Amino acid sequence: MNATLSPLIHLVDDDEGVRSSLALLISTVGLRVQDWADPQRFLREFPRGDIGAIVLDVRMPGVSGLTVLDTLLREGVDQPVIMLTGHGTVDMCRRAFKAGAAEFLEKPVDDEVLLEALQQAVRQHVKSRERLAADRAARERYAQLSEREKEVAGLIVEGLTNKEAGRALALSPRTVETHRANLFAKLQAESLAQLIRRYGTVIDEDQAP
């Protein structure tokens, strides 16, 4: 994995000492770190497309970590967020998880606990982005089908034979077979099981009344 695609941890904390020590700790497991002292600058400049995670202090001057978390949620940012606080309360913890925080840890944070939480968050984020990319590719390939091919796809996913699909569409079985071969080629599917696994949801959404 090249440097531009390797996971990047954004560390947001106004305490320079905390940023330095955590950045050094996180780098020991091979993760890149970008630290931010100003949460408002982080919100303005944070690259939303990165793979990685965010470590966010709760108590900061100007904008609290919970406010930053709420903003990230409203913007649809998908990087997992680990909240850190030296003054945590049950209500604060509840608010953080309600806003989508992946973890809520108290300072001084245990090194192993933080690293495990970060590595798990990064793994989940990578998988999430991979699923999104696969879904986007599937939708782009499905969009290449003709309307008739989409109709045939819907019927064969329902389990109809070529003869039954032909009867439903007033087509000959041979014509259905031709459309079937074309749509399998366009969708790069090698079997009916693969077609259903990759495109079942897309087909259902497209043909929903």
Q: Taking the CB of residue 194, how many other CB atoms lie within 10 A of it?
A: 13
Q: What is the pLDDT of residues 169-178, one digit of tens each?
A: 999 999 999 9
- The yes-or-no verdict on residue 142 having pLDDT over 60 is yes
Domain boundaries, the chain: 8-130, 145-207
* pLDDT at residue 43, as a whole number: 95
3-state secondary structure 83-124: EEECCCCHHHHHHHHHCCCCEEEECCCCHHHHHHHHHHHHHH
Domain 145-207: assigned CATH number: 1.10.10.10
Pick the CATH number of 8-130 from 1.10.760.10, 3.50.50.60, 1.10.287.90, 3.40.50.2300: 3.40.50.2300
What is the average per-residue pLDDT within 184-202? 93
